[in-house]
Amino acid sequence: MAITVEPSLFTRIIAREIPADIVFENERIIAFRDIAPKAPVHLLVVPKTAEFANVTELAAAAPALLAELVAIVQQLADDHCGGQYRLVFNTGPLAGQTVFHVHAHLLGGPLPEGTLGQ
């Protein structure tokens, strides 16, 4: 019996099966607004490949893609929140990861110290 793996929410957004408010896209990365924002600016920055579940896997196997993702985060922060931001990668369910397709949360706007913008 073959095991089927359902595509992640982000894979379905990339394929345009699910709508999203996309703010950036190139051949390798897509960025869109979080539907449940935790800060005045809350963007998800996602590699288009579903190969990596978390940032540790991405860093080990594709450091150039991780570097590109971080550069795009800075560009988006410059455009959306004056260049100042928090960058959060949740790794594992106990850390709050719910979609196991690596992604970064770009949080910007007034974020009090000691919070994650919640």
Is 105 a catalytic site residue?
no
Which of 42, 101, 103, 105 is labelled catalytic?
A: 103
Q: What stretches of 3-54 show up as alpha helix (H) in DSSP?
A: 9-14
Give the closest residue to 33 by CA, choosing from 78, 93, 76: 76
Give the DSSP letter of residue 51: S
Query: Terminal CA-to-CA distance of the chain, rounded, Å?
Result: 44
d(CA 58, CA 43): 19
SS3 64: helix
Q: Which residues are catalytic?
A: 103
